[in-house]
Amino acid sequence: MSHATFAGGFRQIQRHDGIFQEHVHDAYKAKAKLPEPTVCPQCGAFFHAGRWQWLKAPENAHREICPACHRIHDHYPAGFLTMKGEFFQSHRDEIMRLVHNHEKHQRAEHPLKRIMAVEEKDGATVVTTTDIHLARGMGEALHHAYQGELQFHYNPEQNLLRVSWIH
């Protein structure tokens, strides 16, 4: 993997092995093992068998906000997907359907993978996510479907991924 350091501690990374590894601890993950059962009072996700799932929690479950709801509350995304270019602008509705469908499928199995917001900024559309892997996966889905230029910039100190797709 080649690395080049960019402003703000971000590094552009090239993926050769199909796997993107986190190199630091995510401050939004639980510091200690959560008691089981635990339910998020905001979204209803259920912590069971060591992971967050979409299951019905028993009435007496411990209540604790899940990492995704915590990030949303703090307005602190883990991933950014920036999309721009003439092709993107002329196919925006179709491309945004692909992005939302990708998130819907991921979220069904992984409650912590969610879109936080979609914003228009400086002629681009920026999607923020609660999970770096969701932003990466959406970028890869766009590249697979439409080609274009795909770049990843990872800041290991903040466990933050910026994905840029231009077409």
pLDDT per residue as tens, the chain (167 positions): 344 444 455 555 555 444 455 445 567 776 678 888 999 999 999 999 999 999 998 999 999 999 999 999 999 999 999 999 999 999 999 999 999 999 999 999 999 999 999 999 888 999 999 999 999 999 999 999 999 999 999 998 888 999 999 99
**Same domain for 117 and 59:** no
| 33 located within any domain | no
Domain count, the chain: 2
**Same domain for 124 and 48:** no
| 15 located within any domain | no
Coil, strand or helix at 83: strand
**Same domain for 82 and 60:** no
Using the 3D structure, point to which of 55, 71, 87 is the last residue of a domain: 71
What is the signed CA dihedral for 118, 121, 124, 130, rounded to 10 degrees?
-30
What pLDDT is stored for residue 28 in this prediction?
76
What is the signed CA dihedral for 108, 114, 119, 123, rounded to 10 degrees?
-80
Distance CA 19, CA 93 (A): 29
**Same domain for 137 and 151:** yes
**Same domain for 151 and 85:** yes
pTM: 0.82
What pLDDT is stored for residue 22 in this prediction?
47
Using the 3D structure, point to which of 71, 93, 119 is the last residue of a domain: 71
| 29 located within any domain | no
Contacts of 39 (CB under 8 A, 6+ apart): 45, 46, 47, 57, 61, 62, 63, 64
What range defines the domain where residue 111 resides? 77-166
**Same domain for 84 and 117:** yes
Outline where DSSP puts E strands in the chain: 3-5, 11-13, 38-39, 46-48, 51-53, 62-63, 79-84, 115-121, 124-129, 149-155, 160-166
**Same domain for 84 and 67:** no
Distance CA 70, CA 66 (A): 6
What pLDDT is stored for residue 6 in this prediction?
46
**Same domain for 98 and 50:** no
